[in-house]
Structure 1
Amino acid sequence: MVGSKGNAEGPDREPPAGGPGGALVLIGGHEDKEGEREILRDVVARAGGRPIVVATVASDVAGELWVEYERVFRALGAAEVAHLDIAERGDAGEARWLSMLEGAGCVFFTGGDQLKITSKLGGSRRLADAICAVYRRGGTIAGTSAGASVMSETMLVGGAGEESAKVRGAVRMAPGLGLVRDLLVDQHFAQRGRLGRLLGAVAHNPRLLGIGIDEDTAAAIEPDRRLRALGTGAVYVVDGRNLSHTNIGEEEGDRVLSLFDVRLHVLSAGDAFDLERGRPASGQPR
C-alpha cells in the first residue's frame, strides 16, 4: 500500500507541522494553459529553476499530455522538464526514474485515473520513496484532477456526483500516496456537482477534512500547514470533526444521508485555511 501510515518499512512521508518539507499544489482540473496560466506559473516558480518532472502515469494519453505540459512549462520559464512515463507496473523499478528525481524541484502529476498512479508506483517502493523525498527536501508535489486526489493518505476514487449522498452510497476510497494524512480531496468540484459525494466521504471518515477544488483552481498546502486558494474558482473545506449526528450506520441504504453540525468554509483566491487549527487564516505565511 503506497503511503500507508501503518507500514513500518516506509519513511515518514509527511513532515511535521512547521518542520522541513515543501509544498503540495492540488489543482481541481482544467487549469488555464493558454491565458494568464496563474496556477502553472505558480508551479514553475516553486520549482526554483530546478527540473520539473511531469508524471503522466494516470493517463491513457500520456504522450499527448507530456507534449502539452512540456510546452506550457517551458513557455513559463522552466529550464528543464522531464517525462516520467510508466506504462506498466513492472517498469517502475527502472533506475532512470530515480536519477530523474534526484535533483527535481517539482513533480507534477497529470490527470487520468488516480488508481493507476498508486498501482504503478506500487511496483517500486524505491520510486514511491524518491517522489516523497522530493517533497521532504523542500520541493513541490503538484497534481491536477486525479493527480490532486492521490496526494492524501485516503483518496476518493469514485461515487455519484450531482445528487444527494445516500446512507449506502457508492462512494469509493482507497489508499493514496500519503503525502498529507488528514484530508480527503475531490476535484472538478462545482462543475460536476460533487458536494454530495464529498459529504458522503466525510461521513465515513469524520476525522478527515474534505477538500473540494473547482476547475482552474488550486489549493496550495504550504510548509507551515496553511492551505491557500488560487485561481478562478473556489476551494471548499468540509469539516465533520464535530458531527453531532449522522445516519451513516442505518440499514436503510437508499435513505438520504443526514449530517448535523457540519462546517463548510468556501475560500476564493488569496484566502487561506490553517490546517493545524482547523479555521480560516490570513493568507500570509507564519
Structure 2
Amino acid sequence: MTHNNQNGSLIVIGGHEEKEGKREILKEVARRTGSGRLVVMTVASHEPEGYYDTYAPVFAELGVRETREVYVNERSETASEELLSCFDGATGVFFTGGDQLRITSQIGDSPVEQRINEIYASGGVIAGTSAGASAMCETMLVTGSGRESSRIGDLRMAPGLGLIRGVIIDQHFAERGRMGRLLGAVAQNPRVLGIGIDEDTAIVVEGEQFSVLGSGAVTVLDGSTVSSSNVADGGRDTVLSLFDARLHVLAAGNTFDLAQRRPSVPGARE
C-alpha cells in the first residue's frame, strides 16, 4: 500500500483545528509552505463566505507571506487563466471544510487539480481539514451512520482526489462516533487501511510514513487480518459483523509505516 510517489507532504486534519493559542497544526502548514504562496481552497462549501476570512489572518500571523482564495462555483471555471494564476508561485494548498463531494465534482480531473498535483510533485504541502481531509483519498467516505450500529447498506463512498492511496480517511472521528462506519468501509475492502482522525489532530504524510500532530488521537484499522465478515451475504439493513480486524490508536509524536502497516514510537527499540 503506497501513497502517490511525490516529493511533497500531506497534512490531513480531522477538523476544528486550533486557530488561537498554540495552533500547532496550522503552524506546521505555514512552516511547510515556507516563503511561497498558500492557496486556500474554499470549494468544499456552498457558502464559502467567511472561510477565507477566518484562515487568511491566522496564516499571516504564522508567517505565510501571501495567501490566495480559490473558489469554484461552476466546473467550467477551472480552466480560467485568472483562477489558475492564483497557483503561480504557490508552495502550499489548504482545503477548508464543507462537502467532500463538492471538491471532487468541481475540480476532479481539471486544470485546477493538475496544478495542485504539480505543487505536490515539486515538494509543496497539500493540507485539508474535515471534508478537505476526506477528499485526499483515492476513495472517500461520503455518508454513513455514526453513533448507531453500522449496517451494511449505510455507507456511501465515492472516488477522491487520490493524493494518498490505499487508505480511507474519516474525520471528526471520536467526536462524532464514527468507528462503525470506518469498520464498514474497511470490511468492504480489507486492502484499504482505515484512518480515523479526531478533531484538532492531523497526520503528516511523507513518503511511506505518517506522524501524528495535535491534541487528539488517530485510529488505524487494518483489515488485512480479517478472517470473516458478512458484507458479501448480508442485506442493506443487516448489522455488520467483522472478525479479527487489527486496531491501533496513535497519539501525538507516534508514527506509522504505511507500507509495513506498523505503528512506532520515535526513539523506541524495535
- Which whole-Å CA distance do the structure 2 matches of 1:104 and 1:42 have between them? 16
- 3-state DSSP class of the match of 2:113? helix
Distance in 2 (CA, whole Å) between partners of 1:85 and 1:253 is 37
Partner residue, 1:3: none
Q: Provide the residue aligned with 1:14 in structure 2.
A: 4
Aligned partner of 1:137 in structure 2 is: 122
Cα distance in 1, alignment partners of residues 41 and 266 from structure 2: 29
For residue 252 of structure 1, report the CA deviation from its aligned partner. Answer: 4.0
Q: Identity, % of aligned pairs?
A: 53
Q: How many residues align?
A: 265
2:140 pairs with 1:155? yes
Show the counterpart of 2:156.
172
TM-score w.r.t. the length of structure 1 is: 0.89
| Aligned residue among 20, 24, 29 for 1:34 | 20
Counterpart of 2:105?
119
Q: 1:228·1:283 contact (CA, 8 Å) conserved in 2?
A: no
| Matched residue, 1:206 | 190
Compute the TM-score of the two structures, normalised by the length of structure 2. Answer: 0.94
1:68 to 54, 63, 73: 54
Counterpart contact for 1:14–1:136, Cα < 8 Å: no
- Quote how far apart the aligned CAs of 1:49 are: 1.5
Task: Give the Cα–Cα distance (whole angstroms) in 2 for the partners of residues 146 and 252 of structure 1.
Answer: 29
Q: Give unpaired runs (5+ residues) of structure 1.
A: 1-12
Map of 2:238 onto structure 1: 255
**In the alignment, does 2:225 pair up with 1:242?**
yes
The CA RMSD measured in Å over matched residues stands at 1.4
Question: Over residues 186-206 of structure 1, what are the superposed CA-to-partner deviations in whole Å (9 max), with x where a residue is unaligned?
Answer: 000000000000000111121
1:127: how far off?
A: 1.7
- In the alignment, the residues of structure 1 paired with residue 194 and residue 83 of structure 2 have an alpha-carbon distance, to the nearest angstrom, of 32
Residue in 2 that maps onto 1:50:
36
Q: Which residue, out of 252, 259, 264, partners 1:269? A: 252
Is 1:193 aligned to 2:183, yes or no?
A: no
Aligned partners of 1:249 and 1:172: how far apart in 2? 16
The range that moved more, 85-94 or 140-149, is 85-94
Note if contact 1:169-1:200 (Cα within 8 Å) is conserved in structure 2. no
Give the Cα–Cα distance (whole angstroms) in 2 for the partners of residues 125 and 111 of structure 1: 20
Counterpart of 1:94 in structure 2 is 80
Equivalent residue number for residue 24 of structure 1? 10
Separation (CA, whole Å) in 2 of partners of 1:253 and 1:176: 24
Kept in 2, the 8 Å contact 1:49–1:79? The answer is: yes
Q: Is the 8 A contact 2:219 2:250 kept in 1?
A: yes
**Whole-angstrom CA distance in 2 between matches of 1:37 and 1:183:** 26
- 2:168 paired residue number: 184
**For residues 194 and 238 of structure 1, what CA distance do their matches in structure 2 show?**
12
CA distance 1:117–1:137, change in 2 (3 Å) = same
Whether the 8 Å contact between 2:154 and 2:236 is mirrored in structure 1 is no
Q: 2-side partners of 1:98 and 1:156: how far apart?
A: 28
